[in-house]
A and B are shown apart, each in its own frame.
Chain A
Amino acid sequence: MPVAITGSSMVSCLGGLDETFEALLAGRSGVSPLRTGDPDKLNVHYAYSIDDAGAASKGTASGGPASTGRASTGTGLGTDPASNDEAGPRSAGRWLAHCVAEALRDAGVDPAERRVAVIVGTGLREHRAVEQWHGDGAELRLAQTHFTEAVRSVAPDVTEVHTLANACAASGYALALAVDLLELGEADAVVAAGCDTMTESMLTMIGRVGTTTADTVRPFDADRDGVLLGEGAVAVVVERTERTAKNRPALGLVRGVGVGCDAHHETAPDLAGIVATMRDAHRRAGVAPGEIGLVVAHGTATALNDPTEAAALVEAFGPDGPPVTGIKGAIGHTSGGAALMSVLVALKAMRSGVVPPVVGLRTPIPEAEKLALVNGQPLRARPRVAQVNAFGFGGVNAVTIVEAVDV
């Protein structure tokens, strides 16, 4: 059963979807010197962080972070829940609340009138707030450690809010469950979302286990130096196609989402598990690999992910597979939000007929020589069906198949 995406909103270090997409096309990276923690102690010097201090003016200038502007109220980030002021803990929940509200407005869905469930995928939950409580004496209430309160602050009538900590595949998992809830008839609309704020503890681990001195993320590049963290939030509203409000064109269709677990290694990806999840997604979507015209890869630029993902794509698609791009060179690894942000970029690329290049890529790794990586310049193409990969720590995989809609 196809499911329509009827509303969306995202916030990355580059702004909303439009600003993010423009930067991708221009090959521009949102990386900046690390502002969370002590870079020397962390052994990490760059990140793709959201500049809260400058958010108000940036938000006003760009008309807010709404992805489409269709239903934006025009509130700037400075007065919005999306803003994190310097005094309180940096909260992913505030970016999330902003995106959930925007996506519901965009879709014209009112939770007071219909059964709307919310599923939030996150990697690091509100651990930044926990760190600031533990290390800096910031105030914290227990209910702020998950996302129910943040969601209900903008959508008090939703039937249920789930916080899923599914690492870097979290919002892909959220979308899978959203589709399931619609198919089972247990909700009329579902908001699938993702969010994360970078934490000093995760930065510590990246600086500790990596050999990285990376100043930017270079997915599939022979000289890649590992991953850098991004942050932000994303939300989409999904509804059964026959139930969508009239005169509201869908942004795209979710054909199917495959989810699974490698059950292989705590941090390393596994070729067999990834290929199995891709095939599960194809089966659920009812598509053959040859019908897929675009892949937005997970592409983290780590030593292990990129060659494993490249091999999996070659195994799933053969040597003449579709164009492959990725977004982490521009906005970093946004963890919980990564899957859905990639979904929105895939849908925008299909609507606009331009596929952005892999920002940061120069010379592809040998394992990717059989992949049609979009390198250097945007690619003019009109794919109709796209695949979005998301793989997380613990071997949790989510692969989404989306289809373009004629507007």
Chain B
Amino acid sequence: MTHYQPRLVAEDLTPGVAHKGPLDQGIADFAAAVVNAKAVDPLITELVRLRCAQVHDCRLCGSLRNQEALDQGFDEIMHSKIARYESSDFNPAIIAALQLCDAIILSPTAANATLKEKLQQYFSAAQIAEICLDVMKWSQQKALVALRSEAPISDTVSVLSFDQQGNPRLGGPAYS
């Protein structure tokens, strides 16, 4: 894994001005609302999250595994298929969700009636909206990556979980 130094010096940031300021809080509130939406299968949400991590090169996000997805059977074999998901043996619902993710983060003009039709075969309108908002939330890492302030918390793959309010909790090995 490539090592980077943060591009802004912590001592140069005034707490409460920008860092930990109103927009940080607004982004955190949005993120909490998104993770508390639970209409989509946690495995699909996790694959979408990790696809965002791959495309954006987020070291922290890539080092985490969501506890709910682990409980549903997520494993590193699934993780290894994300990069080439279109030719993988993922089920069609997962592939459609990842195509929606890619449309948002890679090529918005690629979204079309064919993708809409495919999504509607597997997801309700509310679920499609939830996946769209998941992608927006899991792309919060773009700001962290731009400033290279997304160092992993550990050399090993760690657990990501959320409290009742949707606040993230990081820590502990994902696999024993």
Do A and B make up one complex? no
Give the A-binding residues of B (Cβ under 8 A): none
Give the B-binding residues of A (Cβ under 8 A): none
